[in-house]
Structure 1
Amino acid sequence: MYRPSRLLVGLGLAACAQAFYLPGAAPHNYVEGEQVDLFVNALTPMLSGSDDIKLKSMINYDYYNPRLRFCEPEGGPKKQSESLGSILFGDRIFNSPYDIEMLRKNGTCEVLCVQDDVTPEDAKFINDRIREDYALNWIVDGLPAAEMKVDVRTNELFFDMGFNLGDNEGPRNELPALNNHYDIVLKYHEPTPGNYRVVGVLVWPASIGGSQDAASAACDPENATPLILDETITQSVRYTYKVIWSESDTPWATRWDNYLHIFDPRIHWFSLINSLVIVVFLCVMVSMILLRSVSRDISRYNAIDLSEDVQEDWGWKLVHGEVFRTPTNPTVLSVMVGNGAQLCAMVSVTLVFALLGFLSPSNRGSLATVMIVCWTLFGGVGGYVSARLYATMGGTDRRKNAFLTATILPTIIFAVVFLLNLFLLMAGSSGAVPFGTMLAIVVLWFGISAPLSAVGAYYGSKHGGVPNPVRVNQIPRQIPPTPKYLHPWAAALLSGILPFGAAFVEMYFVMSSLFASRAYYAFGFLALTAGVVALTTATVTILFTYFILCAEEYRWHWRAFLTGGGSAFWLLAYGLFYWMSRLSLDSFSSVVLYLGYLLLLVLLDFLVTGTIGFVASYWAVRRLYSAIRID
């Protein structure tokens, strides 16, 4: 998967901005005749832009999988070094036998190799991958190989990353055609005389049948019959290619602009404006309730003569002696809030890095790497918040709380990922995380994040709990029946509609990026949408907490967390809808992988939004009860 990064929106005013590159990602100047390396990446299922074509698999395959029968370089393929995030997202990069020299062999037909013994089993495997719309992914000078396409909405040309393994547009009962010839168009720019830079890589795949002997090599697909792999006999396949050099005016600094194409940006703007309208409406509603109703209640309440025997209490004021009572399972709640705070810090810093352009598109896997590193380094934040909240709620077993905060979420995530990794291994996918990478993640989690969490928990316990503004009664008061819409799960579902609605349109692009190998780079829109979702979650949770207290239900702690995390349930529903509408997963392994990663995404979203809702409600409750006079 590709994760190029670019600043598209600044403070909601700028339409777009060009990305800049980190120091160290300097351009490579070639001289005429210098070798230009072509690297191959894993084969990935491709989602077409057409609405009637669905993604058919979730499994990546190694380019040099023995059953694919691609040509290998002399001495065997050599694996290239990759970042942690690149490995986790399924990149498996190797060298290739393609001989490309700067400005040499222009338009010359070259035979790469001839595979003489493609067995019926290999042919069936290749044909199945063509039917599932798999794409080849090549890399030249850090740029992905692409096909030039036209956006049907705007008629703009853009580079669509990856190119088809074969042609599957014939009738269903016919065998597909294998692309065994590639026209490689390399666009170059000459900044100074004699120095050349690669600024674009286009590949036009074609299927050339007929005689597959090396001596009868032909590179004219227009007059050739397609190559059909018969699944009943052993046959030969000849791979050919042609390198075409094309000069371009595009400078190296903006070479990614052709790849970073936004499909109908008006959809993003509509989503953003819709979200802003929702959050403004909610903020006005909450402000009216708090400034008018609550302020009037506080003024009336504080005006009562406390020397009189009778004092009228009503609504939320009746439970002033109960709202800060320790909730059930305070350890679990504090652990979830602590981990949610750690995730919030990770998301915030990662979005800032992406907005500022520090996640270069040429640095593969940089987004995932930054997320993992930030999550590890913010272990102290999770430990501190969890310990401080646990002490505030009157918890006594602080060591247990610190231990669970540091270990429970990493253990759950590691267990799920390990289980999904087994399915990838059984399916023969190259996306299976190697043992060394799994060990590195364990070291990061339990060797760095856990000690930092322990340090944060120590300082959190040292600072102690936040003093409550009102006393807690010794005997709990009775709770009257609450309306059905304020029951915990009903309130969670109702409150989750607005935050999810604020991000509904953007979720399609995010899901396509995560599961369909689509490039996502509109981090400006994403950051603004995330801010709107956070504000919407906070205001909705404060509103529901106020309604709960007015109904004399003082057990608001868990309800605030569930109400804030209500959007996660709608995210799960949208994930199932996305499965039905955009995916057509035939294998059991693909179904398990999709559902497993979707549940992990829902869990993380629940922790983040639940934490936002709880913290907002806790702040509002403290402000509310700090403003009244209690005898």
Structure 2
Amino acid sequence: MHADSRFCRILASFVTLLTFANAFYIPGYSIKSYRDGETIPMFWNKIYSDQTQLQYAYSELPFVCPPSGRKALSGLTSGTSLTLNLGEVLRGDRIMVSDYELVMGEDQEIRYLCSQQVDAKGLKWAKQLIGNHYEAEWIVDNLPGATSFVTTDKSRKYYAAGFKLGYEDFDRFAMEPRYYINNHVTLVIRYHRAPGRGGDHGKKVIVGFEVFPKSIEAGNRDPATGLPEDLNSVEHGMELDLRANATYVHGNVTYSDDSSASEVEEVDSNGLLTIPYTYSVYFREEEKVEWGSRWDMYFVDQEDSSKIHWLAILNSLVISGLLTAVVAVIFGRTIRSDIKGYKSEDMEGGKTKLKRKVRSPLRSPRKSLEKLGGLLDHADADAEGDLSSDDESVEEITGWKLIHGDVFRAPAYGSILAPLVGSGMQLVFMATGLVVLSCFGVLNPSFRGGFVSVGLALFVVAGIFSGYFSARVYKTFGGVLWQKNVLITGTLIPGLLFSTIFVLNFFVWAQASSTAIPFGTLIALVALWLLIQLPLVYVGSWYGFVIVGAWDHPVKPNVIPRQIPVQSWYTKSIQTILIAGLIPFAVIFIELLFVFKSMWEDKSGFYYVFGFLAVVCVILVITVVEVTVVATYMQLCSENYHWWWQSFLVGGSSSLWIFMYCAWYYFVKLHITGFVSSMLFFVYSFLACAVYGLLTGTIGFLAAYAFVRRIYSAIKAD
């Protein structure tokens, strides 16, 4: 046990230092300040919608102005794609320098960007994207462009990242929808005085980036500049329709009631719609918002829901408290009284006499206690006589005490259970690291893609923990081919995850979505898996199997397995798993609402109340431990010694209810359309629930294992 603790402490310290070294942003540091007249680059990222899981790179849309590649902005050339970290690539980011010119402190009432010609195919796609409520994400100084809102009491303003590509209007006369694209944006850059000496020298920091989109018709523009005559009084928007905007369609002249042949052609003779794009820029000082708290505007909604988070914690504490009381009764009264009553000391002659009564042959298949094994090593021959003679002061041997000779018998398919436990410990380490780093602010929205990148790094490094625990459990089960166990541990769970994602990637590729993982990234993931994680699994397995070895058991299994009596309905596997899973699910289901909303509805939003999440996770772990211990104790009391797999399944059983909760959330809360998007939702939900079940199942298994060893060790020690 000392070797275990030293090994874990050394590795945990090393990985923590490594993670902190790679984190590039902590609130209050890495401040970028600008002087008046300094150019500020603006980046295009992607478009997304809460009705689909497919995202697209904004710069690749056929109906927007492509970057010219000729403008130099703060050392960056427009049209240049930024190098992304692994997390950004996996989350579908595609960041490119745009042609928009932003100069600190200089307002621009209106500027012309370009005119983009779109064919019928491009218009059809634009209508589909607008109909699916797609939003665009632009970035300035690492802040996503946001749509501003006001709280219901009008006391505070808050941001929702992204802005609409366009809007849909229903034509009551034609009985069909009409689509308008937002071809003008008003950019409001909010700044604050730079902290420290930079502010004394007139430098400023950006604390807000607001985008106000608008649709402006193509007519009534200056032919020389392409700018609308009056930006404030626009009668019609830019409709995505060839007939509504056309002066020439396939060579046939078609005039509207208020059009003339001298007007600027919006559709040429080939049926191409020309969409003019313009923008305005305004800089406004924000005195109340500091640079270190600029992200708070995106989380006002989460702050307002703090009462619900406290309600979730209170709900979790009540459930966990009741379970704790049950476990305390089991440990403090029932088990302790069983252990004390199991043996009684007779000080006469300095010998220990066992005063027990054998169960009737009608009640138990075992007719004698000749095979009590290690539990009777210190008893003399006189104790055997007392078993049948002293009927007044004896206690009947029942329940978990009867199966002492079978409780540590190796389970069926132990060669699969051991790798699952090892992979579960790998996930425990990864999840703990992510929650801790998030609570300390190392992982935050400014570290774009950091949650995924650091999570993958922790998972790969934790391969050494996976190998260590898998090897020890494998050897405890009597395994000898530890190299084979290394291969299974290192490839089973990562291989299943990678294979599933690889197959899904084909469907996403077919949709030309930026969510599709590039082939080079897939090769990098395989390299991380086979060249780094697998060797670490080997090192951990070698240390756990060869150096440390198996866990010791207080009782050796009998040669002949004991017959298991007929079980009650509530102790059967399926019923126990379903009932036990409800309790951990009840602990976390309120907090799951916020997690799901952040993941599936607010695609550009961020879940940032990690303090509440950490508290709920701690209560969840305690609940899983207690539920598994109670379920294992009830199973042993029913004389069923097949607890190994049962404890693992009970620990992870709440994942079944979470998956059903995902299905309910899909049909009731979401508005996802399309086969591919629906498939992605359910497959990703299944993978997430499987990972969660593996993590909590491992915690339950180790808790039940420690519990069983403890109670049977106490009997042997008495």
Please give the TM-score of this superposition, normalised by the length of structure 2.
0.81
Structure 1 unaligned blocks of 5 or more: 1-18, 46-54
Matched, 1:150 2:150: yes
Question: Counterparts in 2 of 1:432-471, with a 5 A limit?
Answer: 432-462=516-546, 463-471=548-556
AA in 1 matched with 2:668: S
Secondary structure in 2 matching 1:429: coil
The offset of 1:222, in angstroms, is 4.6
Give, in whole Å, the separation in 1 of the partners of 2:418 and 2:82: 43
CA contact under 8 A between 1:207 and 1:221: conserved in structure 2?
no
**Cα shift readout 1:418-476 (whole Å, capped 9, x = no counterpart):** 11111110011011111111111111111111101100000111121111111211100
CA contact under 8 A between 1:135 and 1:164: conserved in structure 2?
yes
Give, in whole Å, the separation in 2 of the partners of 1:528 and 1:308: 54
AA in 2 matched with 1:348: T
Give, in whole Å, the separation in 1 of the partners of 2:89 and 2:277: 29
Candidates 185, 203, 207, aligned match of 1:199: 207
Between 1:144-153 and 1:197-206, the stretch displaced more is 144-153
Candidates 603, 618, 621, aligned match of 2:690: 603
CA contact under 8 A between 1:127 and 1:229: conserved in structure 2?
yes
- Corresponding residue number in structure 2 for 1:585: 672
- Corresponding residue number in structure 2 for 1:240: 278
Cα distance change of structure 1 residues 225 and 154 upon mapping to structure 2, 3 Å threshold: closer
Secondary structure in 2 matching 1:473: coil
- Corresponding residue number in structure 1 for 2:257: none
Structure 2 unaligned blocks of 5 or more: 1-22, 71-77, 244-270, 345-353, 356-378, 388-394
AA in 1 matched with 2:616: T
- Corresponding residue number in structure 2 for 1:622: 709
- Corresponding residue number in structure 2 for 1:173: 176
Matched, 1:575 2:570: no
Secondary structure in 1 matching 2:152: coil
Question: Counterparts in 2 of 1:39-438, with a 5 A limit?
Answer: 39-45=43-49, 55-75=50-70, 77-104=79-106, 106-115=107-116, 117-152=117-152, 156-168=156-168, 170=170, 173-191=176-194, 192=199, 193-211=201-219, 214-218=225-229, 220=231, 222-230=233-241, 234-249=272-287, 250-261=289-300, 262=302, 263-303=304-344, 304-305=354-355, 306=379, 307-309=383-385, 310=387, 312-438=396-522
- Corresponding residue number in structure 1 for 2:264: none
AA in 2 matched with 1:203: V
Give, in whole Å, the separation in 2 of the partners of 1:218 and 1:584: 40
Candidates 613, 617, 642, aligned match of 1:530: 617
CA contact under 8 A between 1:138 and 1:144: conserved in structure 2?
yes
The offset of 1:515, in angstroms, is 2.8
Matched, 1:38 2:42: yes
CA contact under 8 A between 1:147 and 1:202: conserved in structure 2?
yes
Give, in whole Å, the separation in 1 of the partners of 2:711 and 2:678: 48
Between 1:311-320 and 1:444-453, the stretch displaced more is 311-320
Between 1:64-73 and 1:478-487, the stretch displaced more is 64-73
CA contact under 8 A between 1:537 and 1:612: conserved in structure 2?
yes
Between 1:482-491 and 1:91-100, the stretch displaced more is 482-491
Give, in whole Å, the separation in 2 of the partners of 1:467 and 1:238: 77
Cα distance change of structure 1 residues 218 and 331 upon mapping to structure 2, 3 Å threshold: farther
CA contact under 8 A between 1:42 and 1:62: conserved in structure 2?
yes
Give, in whole Å, the separation in 2 of the partners of 1:219 and 1:472: 90
- Output the aligned Cα RMSD: 2.0
**Cα shift readout 1:12-70 (whole Å, capped 9, x = no counterpart):** xxxxxxx994399521221111110000111011xxxxxxxxx3211001112243433
Question: For this pair of structures, how many residues does the alignment match?
Answer: 602
CA contact under 8 A between 1:331 and 1:395: conserved in structure 2?
yes
Cα distance change of structure 1 residues 251 and 156 upon mapping to structure 2, 3 Å threshold: closer
Question: Counterparts in 2 of 1:490-501, with a 5 A limit?
Answer: 490-501=575-586
CA contact under 8 A between 1:282 and 1:536: conserved in structure 2?
yes
Give, in whole Å, the separation in 2 of the partners of 1:354 and 1:407: 29
Secondary structure in 1 matching 2:705: helix
AA in 1 matched with 2:279: Y
Between 1:73-82 and 1:323-332, the stretch displaced more is 73-82
CA contact under 8 A between 2:463 and 2:536: conserved in structure 1?
yes
Cα distance change of structure 1 residues 542 and 154 upon mapping to structure 2, 3 Å threshold: farther
- Corresponding residue number in structure 1 for 2:259: none
AA in 2 matched with 1:163: F
Give, in whole Å, the separation in 1 of the partners of 2:585 and 2:151: 29
Between 1:512-521 and 1:121-130, the stretch displaced more is 512-521
The offset of 1:169, in angstroms, is 5.6
Cα distance change of structure 1 residues 218 and 580 upon mapping to structure 2, 3 Å threshold: farther
Secondary structure in 2 matching 1:215: coil
Cα distance change of structure 1 residues 379 and 216 upon mapping to structure 2, 3 Å threshold: closer
Secondary structure in 1 matching 2:186: strand
Give, in whole Å, the separation in 2 of the partners of 1:126 and 1:144: 22
CA contact under 8 A between 2:408 and 2:553: conserved in structure 1?
yes
Give, in whole Å, the separation in 2 of the partners of 1:437 and 1:90: 12
CA contact under 8 A between 2:112 and 2:226: conserved in structure 1?
no
Secondary structure in 1 matching 2:206: strand
CA contact under 8 A between 1:338 and 1:382: conserved in structure 2?
yes
CA contact under 8 A between 1:63 and 1:70: conserved in structure 2?
no
The offset of 1:154, in angstroms, is 7.9
Structure with the bigger RCO (C-alpha within 8 Å, sep 6+) is 1
Give, in whole Å, the separation in 2 of the partners of 1:137 and 1:241: 16
Give, in whole Å, the separation in 2 of the partners of 1:59 and 1:184: 27
CA contact under 8 A between 2:445 and 2:606: conserved in structure 1?
no
CA contact under 8 A between 2:69 and 2:80: conserved in structure 1?
no
CA contact under 8 A between 1:208 and 1:221: conserved in structure 2?
no
Secondary structure in 2 matching 1:108: strand
Matched, 1:511 2:566: no
- Corresponding residue number in structure 2 for 1:29: 33
Between 1:70-79 and 1:119-128, the stretch displaced more is 70-79
Secondary structure in 2 matching 1:503: helix
The offset of 1:592, in angstroms, is 1.5
Secondary structure in 2 matching 1:308: helix
Secondary structure in 1 matching 2:554: coil
Secondary structure in 2 matching 1:114: strand
Identity level (%): 36
Question: Counterparts in 2 of 1:547-566, with a 5 A limit?
Answer: 547-566=634-653
CA contact under 8 A between 1:176 and 1:228: conserved in structure 2?
yes
The offset of 1:151, in angstroms, is 3.2
